[in-house]
Amino acid sequence: MRAVREFNLSSLLLRAGDVHPNPGPTLRIAQFNILGFTPGKRLSLLHKAITHDLDVILLQELHIVKNEASRLTLDGYQCFAIARDAKGGGVAVLIRKGFQCSLTSQSVSEVLEQATGCVKVGAHLCQFTSAYFPRGNKVTSAAVHSLSQADWTTHVICADANCHHTNWDKHVAPNPGGSHIVDFCIDEGYTLLNTGDPTRRSLTIERGQLSAPDVTLARRCTTQRWQATPDPDSDHFLITFNFVVGDDEPLAHHVPKPSYYSWGQANWQEYSRLVSEDCKRFPTKGTPNQQAKFLSRSIAKATAKAVPKGVTRVRHLWLADLEDAERKCEKLLSPIDGTTPSQRREILFSTRERKRLLSNHCKQEWGQVCADMKPTNSATWRTLQNIMSARPTPTNLVVEGILFLLWRVGNIHLNRSQDFPFEASWDIFHWAHLIGGHMINGVRLPILNNSISVHSSG
């Protein structure tokens, strides 16, 4: 009789439709071959991260070098990136700030580029690997098996494998690399999350061929809602899915995000009154540990009542024209199958127009940075250090802004008695002097005084 009751209870739960066995905390994951991490795509990626509430972002084909990889940033995220020495490639793992995380593995070879980040969620350590197998190189079984380690029990692999197999790609004939991935899943206990939908569409007007070179593999975790959506930033689709950690945690659908407070709107008089009132019951005869816990609780209770909650301070300027261009591209990209050459031509025109808008927006942002530049501002010096590196952060769209910034900093400090706040200051003076006399936006920059003496630590 007890067995019958349990069976009936299970049947009722299954009929509910949205009930599943006690899921743990859920992370929102994105996988994307971004096809070049330009300033415009950085802005677009931040918009996607906010729109989809992403916790972990795994990127491929950043097209960056080592200097850029070490400085790669996205507001609100901790970034772990590596670059290829050759043209193209580069992968990154971006994890929302507030999570305990670290870079656990990285490697670059002719066959494989991979970076793995570890995220602690509750009592679980979750490994996330972003991998890229460059085209034209033969994918080997050893390279595929190198993506996994025995102690990575909870592991997700998001890879642009450039491999095809009937298990996930019905548009392109299978190749040996696809067989290696299938064997790897069987040997190491991974589950293929792909649903058979395409993850890439060639945007050439003549062909427009669909394929699925991107694969998502998971081990010892529950995943939900794997979806590949066409994206105007790349010929690859944006892949998103939910990642459920463990099966013995309290029922939850989202990992609690860190609390942010609007300290500028706090009622400090009420805060002081609440703390003082609570401290009347201070355990004077208690142990130091008890007294410390009492004070901590008093401060936490007063903060919760007197300081309003805020939001993550992510600087994100997504204007109306960008939103209109985004919606137009999404509408054109939505019919995945059966696009005609005229439709693909319209898609190319719309994506290029959106790219132009993003480029102009980044130019305006960079111009504002130059206008707000001050010698006492640390952000100014970080910008200059990026410019003076072996290869600057991709700002080729705003070369004139860079020239103006260098000239202005040099001009300001030639009239100051203070030294530069960082070493190798002679380079800045040298560039500022050389730039003098150039035309920037129709204005000729004055030539700096040749007789000025410059302090140099070198």
pLDDT for 341-351, tens place per residue? 888 888 888 99
Residue 240 and residue 267 share a domain: no
The answer to whether residue 424 scores a pLDDT higher than 70 is no
Residue 450: helix, strand or coil by DSSP?
coil
Q: Is the dihedral of CA 287, 293, 295, 298 positive or negative?
A: negative
pLDDT for 105-129, tens place per residue? 999 988 899 999 999 887 789 999 9
Residue 398 pLDDT level (bands cut at 50, 70, 90): very low
Residue 181 and residue 102 share a domain: yes
Across the chain, what does the average pLDDT equal? 77
% of residues, the chain, pLDDT over 70: 69
Residue 321: helix, strand or coil by DSSP?
helix
Residue 198 and residue 158 share a domain: yes
* Residue with tokens 């950690």, as numbered in its chain: 245
290 belongs to a structural domain:
yes
Residue 275 pLDDT level (bands cut at 50, 70, 90): confident
Residue 175 and residue 132 share a domain: yes
Residue 287 and residue 216 share a domain: no
Residue 384 and residue 287 share a domain: no
Q: Which domain holds residue 440?
A: 372-458
Contact yes or no for 386/421 (Cβ under 8 A): no
353 belongs to a structural domain:
no
- Give the global pTM: 0.70
The answer to whether residue 433 scores a pLDDT higher than 80 is no
In this predicted structure, what is the pLDDT of residue 279?
A: 85
Residue 154 and residue 121 share a domain: yes
pLDDT for 203-230, tens place per residue? 776 677 899 999 999 998 889 999 999 9
Contact yes or no for 39/355 (Cβ under 8 A): no
Higher pLDDT, 270 or 263: 270
C-alpha span between 210 and 199 (Å, rounded): 8
* Chain-centroid distance, C-alpha 239: 14
* C-alpha separations of 243 from 23, 114, 128, 223, 265 in Å: 10, 20, 11, 5, 36
4 belongs to a structural domain:
no
382 belongs to a structural domain:
yes
29-43, 57-71, 128-142, range with greatest mean pLDDT: 29-43
Q: Which amino acid is at 345?
A: R
322 belongs to a structural domain:
no
Average pLDDT, stretch 19-47? 83
Q: How many domains does the chain have?
A: 3
339 belongs to a structural domain:
no
pLDDT for 45-62, tens place per residue? 999 998 898 999 999 999
347 belongs to a structural domain:
no
Residue 85: helix, strand or coil by DSSP?
coil
> CATH number for the domain including 29?
3.60.10.10
The answer to whether residue 67 scores a pLDDT higher than 70 is yes
% of residues, the chain, pLDDT over 90: 32
Q: Out of 61-75, 97-111, 241-255, which region has the weakest mean confidence (pLDDT)?
A: 241-255
For 133-190, strand residue ranges (E) read 154-160
pLDDT for 157-166, tens place per residue? 999 999 999 9
The answer to whether residue 176 scores a pLDDT higher than 60 is yes
In this predicted structure, what is the pLDDT of residue 283?
A: 87
The answer to whether residue 333 scores a pLDDT higher than 90 is no
Phi, psi of 49 (to 5 degrees): -60, -40
Residue 291 and residue 234 share a domain: no
As beta bridge partners, residue 185 has none
C-alpha span between 106 and 93 (Å, rounded): 11
User: Domain end: 306, 341, 358, which one?
Assistant: 306
20-34, 227-241, 311-325, range with greatest mean pLDDT: 227-241
Residue 90 and residue 55 share a domain: yes
Residue 271 and residue 224 share a domain: no
Residue 393 and residue 270 share a domain: no
In this predicted structure, what is the pLDDT of residue 439?
A: 42
Average pLDDT, stretch 72-86? 85
The answer to whether residue 293 scores a pLDDT higher than 50 is yes
The answer to whether residue 386 scores a pLDDT higher than 70 is no
The answer to whether residue 95 scores a pLDDT higher than 70 is yes
The answer to whether residue 437 scores a pLDDT higher than 80 is no
User: Domain end: 217, 244, 271, which one?
Assistant: 244
**DSSP, res 447:** P
Residue 238 and residue 280 share a domain: no
pLDDT for 186-200, tens place per residue? 999 999 999 999 999
29 belongs to a structural domain:
yes
Residue 430 pLDDT level (bands cut at 50, 70, 90): very low
The answer to whether residue 429 scores a pLDDT higher than 50 is no
Q: Out of 133-137, 363-367, 376-380, 415-419, which region has the weakest mean confidence (pLDDT)?
A: 415-419
Average pLDDT, stretch 60-88? 84
